[in-house]
Structure 1
């Protein structure tokens, strides 16, 4: 293996996958983080600045109209006034915070998890399988999961500094291993 490659290996449920990453891969991981960060930040900012975002009509009408397998769940959510009020705030501000987290590489895994969760909900709500089960929402969900899996916040991001921050002479992630679920 050359000095320009990194060996990967993972075993899940008895199946092992192996591969090698080239050092140029780091730039593509960084680009994916920035792309998703900018996309979410811009989408959330547009919603907040317009002041016109409302989820009620979408929740009650779009999933049943497109045949979503969980349409009844979306209709129930859209029929609950306090839940709609929550979603009307959580979606735009969630997009802004997820976007900012990814853009600066802070709490990247946490942000990517919530981004993937939102994309899963969008995938189920925007159900359109006319051209197969894979659409843009599903692909974005996988990009968020990739950003988290590769620890993209360590690449020119704040997470690298947070992880290295020492508490009583020990790096934060060594002292508190659970922080790895949020950082990286």
Structure 2
């Protein structure tokens, strides 16, 4: 096994006057790929199970679990679970969202978009499954951070279709060069 070190493995970010720098090991790409595939499988499986399961519905969870577990957004979850049009929306959005997020992560297409929605779903699950007996960090919160890391590291470029999509030429120019905003959804 060979590893290489290059300046490409160095990164830096500035937020509000604070600068952080890092240097990733060349094996980091394998771990980022593993995180992408793990979350992809988990969401694909969860979504496929719900899509194939007749009668899956969000309202019972929203009203009887999320709205009654003491979380700070309990009123919002109760509203969601008792508003017919919103329940109908969630009954489609949750299973198909999980399935499409999982599929996007597994094949490495539109990874940043998939990871954003995966992180959003995990944030909602974090509040819906509210439990702070062991602290405010739990599995849902950790998975939200995994999704954000997958997006930040451009995991779709690692053995993924995003690398091919970004290089696809339109009028002799790479797609992301022609449409730079695509970098927000690809990668």
Common topology (TM > 0.5): yes
- TM-score normalised by L of structure 2: 0.95
Q: Which runs of 5+ in 2 are unaligned?
A: none
> SS state of the match for residue 72, structure 2?
coil
- Give yes or no for the alignment of 1:173 onto 2:183: no
Partner in structure 1 of residue 74 of structure 2: 71
The structure 2 residue matched to 1:93, chosen from 83, 93, 96, is: 96
User: What stretches of structure 1 move > 3 A for 4+ residues in a row?
Assistant: none
The structure 2 residue matched to 1:163, chosen from 162, 166, 171, is: 166
The alignment of Structure 1 onto Structure 2 pairs a total of residues equal to 183
Partner in structure 2 of residue 4 of structure 1: 5
Measure how far apart 1:100 and its partner are.
0.2
- Give yes or no for the alignment of 1:13 onto 2:16: yes
Q: Which runs of 5+ in 1 are unaligned?
A: none
Determine the C-alpha separation between the residues in 2 that align with 1:131 and 1:82: 36
Partner in structure 2 of residue 147 of structure 1: 150
Measure how far apart 1:3 and its partner are.
4.3
Q: Deviations over 1:110-153 (max 9, x none)?
A: 00000000000000111100100000100000000000000000
Determine the C-alpha separation between the residues in 1 that align with 2:19 and 2:55: 49
Measure how far apart 1:64 and its partner are.
3.0
Determine the C-alpha separation between the residues in 2 that align with 1:74 and 1:116: 18
Aligned Cα RMSD in Å?
A: 1.1
